[in-house]
Homo-oligomer: A and B are copies of this chain.
Amino acid sequence: MNDQDKAKTESWVQYISMSPPSLNNNTADVDRLTAQLKQQMEVQSISIDRSVMISLPRVLRKSNFNVRCILFGYDHCYQLIDVQPSNECIPVYGLAIDLGTTRVVLRLLDLVDHSTITETTMDNPQGKIAPDVLARIHYTDQPGGLDHLQRLIIDAINQHIQHICTAQGIDSQHIMCMSIAGNTCMTHLFLGFPPQAIIREPYIPVINRQMVCSCDDLGIKIHPQARLFIFPNIGSYFGGDLISGILALDMHHQSEISIMVDVGTNAEVVLGSKDWMIACAGAAGPALESGVSKIGMTAGPGAIERIQMNNLSFTWQTIDHKKPIGICGSGFIDLAAVLFQSGMLDIRGKLVPDQCKERLLHINDIMHFVVVPAEMSATGNPLTISQVDIDSLIRSKAAMYTILNTIAQSVGVHLSDVSTFYVAGTFGAYIDPSSAITIGMIPDLPLERYRSVGNTSLEGASRVLLSRKDIESVSDIHNLITYMELNVNQEFMNRFSAAKFIPHTDTKLFPSVEVPSI
């Protein structure tokens, strides 16, 4: 098969030319169309909604049996969504959604030329009711709680679809398929599935496998026959957003071993190649998100995202170049790295008063390090981080490294054997790997092996809308992954304790990190 033929069979948009029926060739309309579609797409079975069958005789005769078909599905579940005369250039769009706990990103794609029409981000409206996964699940214990959360997200998606369509001057009826990649809880809430068992031992989702749903059944107002692909979960703590990410990165096609890390409240890690994959998730993140220190904040305007030190003097860079109002995860990691390199933080992660000198303040008997003096901050007060904040960061970085170390050891892989280290999500977009290596958060690999890969969840969700091959890969990826429960046992705790030093008690693991001699 040449490339053109391949692209043809892999597309959701299929052009079909049939011989018109005659007395000697009197196959019925639906059977005539599906026979040719099955042959052309090399699939065994195609489902057609009754309403599509109703319109078929008219469309076939109007087009003299030359039609464009839009299909969607996988394996044995191909659905014929629409049939149009080939010569009518009706646009065909798909909508990919990254369904995050905090943020939701929608990307509209043209399924004919595979271009991105537009992309838009919105807050997950469920956040106003309950900020995190746990609170949302508890909210569903209330009567009507689940319906309310589901309604909020679906209404918001419908509103944004309308905004997009109005802004782009397109008809929402021309959006013919959708894909959603989200964590297990967000996916459950979106589908109206009771999520309570996810957070209660033994942690059981309603479904892990991928699904195709009717958009109309869910109340999503696009083409009436449009279908929605839901990425599968591996379990309660390893969701479809990660599977989508693996697809986007083509990890399932790589011969060499790579690793993908997505850090939010949890660190989710997958390690492997085309032959095997192992995944785990663990609490690693509080210091890396907002709320951890008085100045800690989610990445946003005025957040210090990058810190350097020259001759004992700090230079910093804030998001949108605003006056600093706080420090986000990536800035905090930079800060810890420079403090360690300058000797102001010792290998145990403790501030060294003799080195910090006048940059130290004592507030309520707790040591604070002044990052930004009052006169330079947006708040008029000095921006400080406390020893407590630093202790928290040290625990987070130790947890991160221990998780990486544990998953690698479980399959007998040394972290130095990892050919590519993908850092996904907003965390990956901002973190400076050299700082993270300096504090011993991530393994001491050559920097070029680190790749910040952005929103891989959205990217994977887009790919299934553009290629049958990619949607078929999703279940392959799902089947490839072994999920490892992180047993927090004595061995894990020993590793964790060893990782609480900067960079590590075993400095041979971090040969590139120079430990200052004070």
Give A204's nearest chain B residue, CB to CB: B21
Q: Compute how far the CA of A233 lies from the CA of B27 in the bound complex, rounded to whole angstroms.
A: 11
Q: Which residues of chain B have C-beta atoms less than 8 A from A23's C-beta? A: 201-203, 485
The distance from the CB of A8 to the nearest CB of chain B, in whole angstroms, is: 25
B57 contacts A213, C-beta separation under 8 Å: no
B interface footprint on A179-213 (CB within 8 Å = 1, 0 otherwise): 00000000000011110110001111111110001
The reply to whether the CB of A168 lies closer than 8 angstroms to some CB of chain B is: no
Compute how far the CA of A23 lies from the CA of B25 in the bound complex, rounded to whole angstroms.
Answer: 59
Contact of A27 among B28, B56, B196, B208 (CB under 8 A): B208
State in angstroms the CA–CA spacing of A208 and B207 once bound together.
36
CA distance A93 to B116 in the complex (A): 50
Closest B residue to A198 using CB positions: B28
Please provide the chain A residues from 205 to 238 with a CB less than 8 Å away from any CB of chain B in the complex: 205-209, 213, 217-218, 233, 235
Neighbouring B residues of A28 by C-beta, 8 Å: 204-209, 233, 235
Q: Which of A21, A23, A53, A235 has the most CB of B within 10 A?
A: A53
The interface on chain A, measured as residues whose beta carbon lies within 8 A of the other chain's beta carbons, has a size of 43
In contact, A30 and B207 (Cβ under 8 angstroms) = yes
Number of copies: 2
Interface digits, A220-264 against B, CB 8 Å rule (1 contact, 0 not)?
A: 000000000000010100000000000000000000000000000
For residue A213, which residues in chain B have a CB less than 8 angstroms away from its CB?
50
Contact partners of A205 in chain B: CB under 8 A: 28-29
Closest CB in chain B relative to A37 CB, distance in Å: 13
- A22 contacts B by Cβ under 8 Å: yes
* A45 at the B interface (CB under 8 A): yes
Q: Which residues of B contact A21 (CB under 8 A)?
A: 202, 204
- Is A44 an interface residue when CB atoms closer than 8 A count as contact? yes
Q: Are A26 and B209 in contact (CB under 8 A)?
A: no
* A54 interface residue per 8 A CB criterion: yes
Within the complex, which residue of B27, B193, B218 is in contact with A53, where a contact is CB–CB below 8 Å?
Answer: B193
Considering the chains assembled together, what is the distance between the CA atoms of A196 and B56 in angstroms?
13
CA distance in complex: A142, B213 (Å): 36
CB closest chain-B residue, reference A217 = B50
Please state if A50 and B203 are interface contacts (CB–CB under 8 Å). Answer: no
Residues from chain B with Cβ under 8 Å of A209 in the complex: 28, 30-31
In order of increasing CB-CB distance, the 3 nearest A-B pairs are A30-B207, A28-B208, A28-B205
